[in-house]
Amino acid sequence: MIKLPCYNEKTNVLFIHIPKNASLSISNSLDIDIKKHYPYFILEQMIPKDIIENSIKVACVRNPWERMASMLKYHQKKGYYPENYNLRTFINNGKQRWNMSNFDFMSQFRWCYSLETDTMNEIQEKNPNDTWMDFIFNYDRLDKDWDEFRDLFRLDIPDLGITHSSGEYSYKEEYQSSEHQYAFDLISNVQTLFADDIYFMKWEFGKKHTQKLIW
């Protein structure tokens, strides 16, 4: 049998693997082989319709400001960008780099919707509860959400075994123009780029979102 991407037949879980959202840890615990990041609207073209309709579809979302800082660090670590490549340039070039093969700067909200039935205008008008996902993990309370997810679907899966916490949110330093001054235009650029995520998920710069996401 051909192994389907992002899917575990035993647990019937389909995992939407959004980059830099603890996805490797989650996929390992779910025993799902992840070789590439696929938004839902791509996966539904690759996976049989009955599995798409009947599987437990899950994703994890993260504060966009933190996620962008983490993504740049990751790209620098991989050698895609030099160490002196700053967050401002990375974000300002974001929209220009968005295309059908590079989803780094696509909203997390958009990752979880169907391309066939939802245009961008339709998505923006939707009730946030009307999503294709069955469970959305909040990165800021991942351990709690994991336990709830496991109990809700009665899954025989291991503890997540990790704690994703950035303490006092060290990513804020990446948005400073000087030691004691934030670059508010840079903060605003991220807010514009990920307006859907921030609106529907109630993210705020520099603050943890410890409540369960109602999406």
* pLDDT (0 to 100) of residue 166: 46
Q: In this predicted structure, what is the pLDDT of residue 167?
A: 45
Q: Where are the domains of the chain?
A: 7-201
Residue 115 tokens read as: 């391309």
Output DSSP code: residue 171: G
Nearest to 51 by CA among 109, 4, 17, 18: 4
Parts of the chain with a pLDDT under 50:
165-168
Q: What is the pLDDT, as a whole number, of residue 176?
A: 85
Integer Cα distance of 63 and 36 in angstroms: 22
pLDDT in tens, 33-57: 887 888 888 888 889 999 988 999 9
**Beta pairing, strands 56-61 & 135-138:** parallel
Q: How many CB atoms lie within 10 A of CB 147?
A: 12
